Structure 1
Amino acid sequence: MILPFALGACVEPVPTAEDFIPEYKGVETVLLDGDLVQFNVAMTKALSRADVADYAECAAAQYTLIRGYGFARHVRTNVAEEAGIFRGDAVYTISPSLPRGLKTIDAEVVAAECFERGIPTV
């Protein structure tokens, strides 16, 4: 005989909006060499690896402004997930003028976009 309460234990809970709102767990910045900076970020409930990369980019933009520079160039981003925690390790160069390369950011513009999207910065 199967008891009614035993069947309820097998039912998946219905997702709520909170299940899809990222939780940002912090940023660690490491100055590697002069204008080369590493950003280590952690978050939960990321919908994709791009969410983690966006978080790192937001940190890079604000850090660039804090240092008195206006631009950054993306070097690389590694993303890993373990036990529901997404970790990103991103490296950027920062500079007062627009650097050469394809993956450059205007720190002021990106920081403003991050604020509008609710993504925290440094």
Structure 2
Amino acid sequence: MNPRYLISSGVLALAGTVSACGAAHTARGDVDAPPAVYKGIKTEALDDDLVNVFVEIEGGRGPQDVEVYAECAVSRYVLDKDYGFARHLRTNVTEEGGLWRGDAVYTISPTLPRGLMTIDAEVVAEACAQNGIPMV
């Protein structure tokens, strides 16, 4: 398989939500999930090619919405830095009183990085914009 066509699981989930909105929710048993309210993004450069992304969501479907929101945030960050790609390293998700918090770390690069959890920033940013998920 050509590594240029690898995308992250969050983007696949986002695409699945777009293509089968009702069916995607029903299949996971989260039909009653309240709509996600995006509360904010904070990015922190850890090094020239390493970024920490913090996001908060109220409601939504939980960890999967947090992960997609973080991918949207890192995509905007990558594009603002004139890079094209990111690679997911880890995401920690916590919930307290209906507020979900994500703490994700990514490497960023101008070329497609090695590994399976890669993100094409332009593709992800477009999907986020089409789905109304903020990137700043």
TM-score normalized by the length of structure 2: 0.74
Tell me, yes or no, if structure 1 residue 95 matches structure 2 residue 109. yes
* Counterpart amino acid of residue 25 in structure 1: K
Partner residue, 2:75: 61
2:87 to 73, 90, 100: 73
Partner residue, 1:24: 38
Contact 2:55–2:69 (CA<8 Å) still a contact in 1? yes
Instruction: Answer with 1 or 2: which has the greater Rg.
Output: 1
Tell me, yes or no, if structure 1 residue 116 matches structure 2 residue 116. no
Gaps of 5+ in 1: 1-18
* Counterpart amino acid of residue 66 in structure 1: D
Partner residue, 2:98: 84
Q: Per-residue deviation at 1:48?
A: 2.4
Partner residue, 1:9: none
2:49 to 18, 35, 48: 35
Between Structure 1 and Structure 2, how many residues are aligned? Answer: 104
Aligned residue for 1:31, secondary structure, equals strand
TM-score normalized by the length of structure 1: 0.83
CA RMSD of aligned residues (A): 0.9
* Counterpart amino acid of residue 30 in structure 1: E
Q: Deviations over 1:13-70 (max 9, x none)?
A: xxxxxx7221100001010111100000001012121000000000001110000000
Q: Deviations over 1:56-109 (max 9, x none)?
A: 000001110000000000000010001111000000111000000100011000
Aligned residue for 2:102, secondary structure, equals strand
- Aligned-residue identity in percent: 58
* Counterpart amino acid of residue 121 in structure 1: M
- Structure ranking higher in helix proportion: 2
